Amino acid sequence: MAEAIPGLGDDQDQYSCSICLELLNDPVTIPCGHSYCSSCINECWTTPDHKKTYKCPQCRHAFNSKPPLNKNTILAEIMEKLRLRTKLLMSEAAQSLAGPGDIACDFCAGEVFKAVKSCLECRASYCEIHVHPHYNVPALKKHKLVKATVMPICSKHDKLLEVYCRTDQVCVCMHCLMDDHKGHDTVPSTIERDEKQMKLTATQTKVKQTIHAKEKDLQKMKMDITSHSDSAKEAVKNCTRVFTEFAKFIEKRGKEVIEKIKAQEKADLDQGAKLQEKLEGEITELKKREGVLETLLETDDNIHFLQNYESVSSSSGSNGFPSRSFKPCCSYTDVSKLACELKERLETVFNQEINETFKKDIHTDESLAVDLPGSACWKGILSEAEPDDKCGSSTLTCNIKIGDKVCVKPSVKTPKYLWGSVNHKSIGSVINVQGETVTVDFPEQEGWIGEVSEMELVVNADLGNGFKVGNRVSIRSSLKEPKHGWGSVTRNSIGVIKKIQGESLAVDFPEQTEWTGVLSEVQLVSSDVSEPVSLSPGARVRVKPTISTPAQGWGRVTKPSIGVVVALDGTKVTVNFPEQSNWTGIVSEMEAVP
Pick the last residue of a domain from 309, 330, 351: 330
Is-contact 358 400, C-beta < 8 A? no
Is-contact 467 507, C-beta < 8 A? no
**Residue 381 DSSP SS3:** strand
Q: What percent of the chain has pLDDT over 90?
A: 10
Amino acid code (one letter) for 193: R
Counting Cβ atoms within 10 Å, is residue 435 exposed (0-12), middle (13-18) or buried (19+)? exposed
pLDDT of residue 90: 64
Quick check: is 433 in a domain?
A: no
Q: Residue 89, Cβ neighbours under 10 Å: how many? A: 16
Q: What is the mean pLDDT of residues 4-11?
A: 48
Q: How many residues does the chain have?
A: 594
Least confident of 167-176, 236-245, 287-296: 236-245
Q: What is the mean pLDDT of residues 496-500?
A: 84
The Cα-based distances of 579 to 322, 360, 552, 566, 592 in angstroms read 42, 105, 16, 15, 18
Residue 228's φ and ψ, nearest 5 degrees, are -65, -40
Least confident of 73-77, 95-99, 113-117, 473-477: 95-99
Least confident of 159-163, 270-274, 291-295, 375-379: 375-379
pLDDT of residue 508: 85
Pick the last residue of a domain from 283, 311, 330: 330
Quick check: is 404 in a domain?
A: no
pLDDT of residue 212: 92
Q: Does 533 score more than 70 pLDDT?
A: no
Instruction: Note whether 227 and 291 are same-domain residues.
Output: yes
The Cα-based distances of 280 to 211, 318, 319, 426 in angstroms read 10, 15, 16, 29
Return d(Cα 323, Cα 453) in angstroms, integer.
Answer: 30
Instruction: Note whether 266 and 196 are same-domain residues.
Output: yes
Q: What is the mean pLDDT of residues 342-347?
A: 73
Q: What is the mean pLDDT of residues 162-180?
A: 90
pLDDT of residue 73: 81
Return d(Cα 485, Cα 206) in angstroms, integer.
Answer: 10
Pick the last residue of a domain from 310, 330, 350: 330
Instruction: State which of 64-78, 289-303, 310-324, 522-536 shows the largest mean pLDDT.
Output: 289-303
Quick check: is 424 in a domain?
A: no
Return d(Cα 332, Cα 232) in angstroms, integer.
Answer: 6
Is-contact 460 440, C-beta < 8 A? no
Instruction: Note whether 482 and 578 are same-domain residues.
Output: no
pLDDT of residue 197: 92
Please choose, from the candidates 309, 307, 319, 324, the residue with its C-alpha nearest in 3D space to the C-alpha of residue 271. 324
8-55 per-position pLDDT tens digit:
444 556 778 888 877 788 888 888 888 888 888 888 877 665 556 778
Instruction: Note whether 72 and 203 are same-domain residues.
Output: no
Residues facing residue 440 across a β-bridge: 430, 448
Quick check: is 35 in a domain?
A: yes
Q: What percent of the chain has pLDDT over 70?
A: 80
| 89 pLDDT tier (thresholds 50, 70, 90) | low
249-299 per-position pLDDT tens digit:
777 777 787 888 888 888 888 888 888 888 888 888 888 888 888 888 888
Q: Does 480 score more than 70 pLDDT?
A: yes
The CATH number that applies at residue 477 is: 2.30.30
Return d(Cα 116, Cα 285) in angstroms, integer.
Answer: 30
Average pLDDT score over the chain: 78
pLDDT of residue 209: 92
Q: Does 395 score more than 50 pLDDT?
A: no
Residues facing residue 524 across a β-bridge: 473
Domain that holds residue 480: 472-524
Quick check: is 237 in a domain?
A: yes
Q: What is the dihedral of CA 117, 120, 124, 128, to 10 degrees?
A: -20
The Cα-based distances of 48 to 40, 53, 58, 403, 560 in angstroms read 15, 10, 18, 114, 80
Between these two residues, 369 and 27, which has the higher pLDDT value?
27
Instruction: Note whether 89 and 203 are same-domain residues.
Output: no
pLDDT of residue 315: 63
Is-contact 149 103, C-beta < 8 A? yes
pLDDT of residue 397: 42
pLDDT of residue 150: 81
pLDDT of residue 17: 84
3-state secondary structure labels for all residues of 406-453: EEECCCCCCCCCCCCCCCCCCCEEEEEEECCEEEEECCCCCCEEEEHH
Q: Does 524 score more than 70 pLDDT?
A: yes
Transcribe 112-174 into DSSP letters.
PBBP-EEETTTTEEE-TTTTTHHHHSHHHHTSPEEES----B-TTT--B--EEETTTTEEE-T
Is-contact 440 406, C-beta < 8 A? yes
Least confident of 68-77, 244-253, 260-269, 390-399: 390-399
Residues facing residue 541 across a β-bridge: 563, 592
Q: What is the mean pLDDT of residues 50-65?
A: 77
Q: What b-and-e string marks burial along 20-38, b requiring 16 or more CB atoms within 10 Å of the CB?
A: eeebbeebbbbeeebbbbb
pLDDT of residue 211: 93
Residue 217's φ and ψ, nearest 5 degrees, are -60, -40
**Residue 504 DSSP SS3:** strand
Per the rule left: phi > 0, alpha: psi between -120 and 50, beta: everything else, 530 is left
Q: Does 217 score more than 70 pLDDT?
A: yes
Per the rule left: phi > 0, alpha: psi between -120 and 50, beta: everything else, 130 is alpha
**332-358 vs 189-243: helix crossing angle, rounded to 10:** 10
Number of domains the chain contains: 4
| 396 pLDDT tier (thresholds 50, 70, 90) | very low
| 513 pLDDT tier (thresholds 50, 70, 90) | confident
103-114 per-position pLDDT tens digit:
888 888 877 888
Quick check: is 123 in a domain?
A: no
Least confident of 8-22, 122-136, 335-349: 8-22
Residue 431's φ and ψ, nearest 5 degrees, are -115, -10
Q: What is the mean pLDDT of residues 318-330?
A: 64
Instruction: Note whether 288 and 215 are same-domain residues.
Output: yes
| 573 pLDDT tier (thresholds 50, 70, 90) | confident
Instruction: Note whether 548 and 486 are same-domain residues.
Output: no
pLDDT of residue 91: 62
Return d(Cα 538, Cα 475) in angstroms, integer.
Answer: 33
Q: Does 529 score more than 60 pLDDT?
A: no
The CATH number that applies at residue 41 is: 3.30.40.10
| 391 pLDDT tier (thresholds 50, 70, 90) | very low
| 200 pLDDT tier (thresholds 50, 70, 90) | very high
Instruction: Note whether 208 and 315 are same-domain residues.
Output: yes
Return d(Cα 50, Cα 30) in angstroms, integer.
Answer: 15
Quick check: is 544 in a domain?
A: yes
Please choose, from the candidates 485, 408, 481, 398, the residue with its C-alpha nearest in 3D space to the C-alpha of residue 440. 408
| 392 pLDDT tier (thresholds 50, 70, 90) | very low
Instruction: Note whether 505 and 576 are same-domain residues.
Output: no
Instruction: Note whether 516 and 579 are same-domain residues.
Output: no
Between these two residues, 249 and 411, which has the higher pLDDT value?
411
Instruction: Note whether 266 and 321 are same-domain residues.
Output: yes
pLDDT of residue 385: 58
Instruction: Note whether 235 and 289 are same-domain residues.
Output: yes
Q: Does 474 score more than 60 pLDDT?
A: yes
Quick check: is 38 in a domain?
A: yes
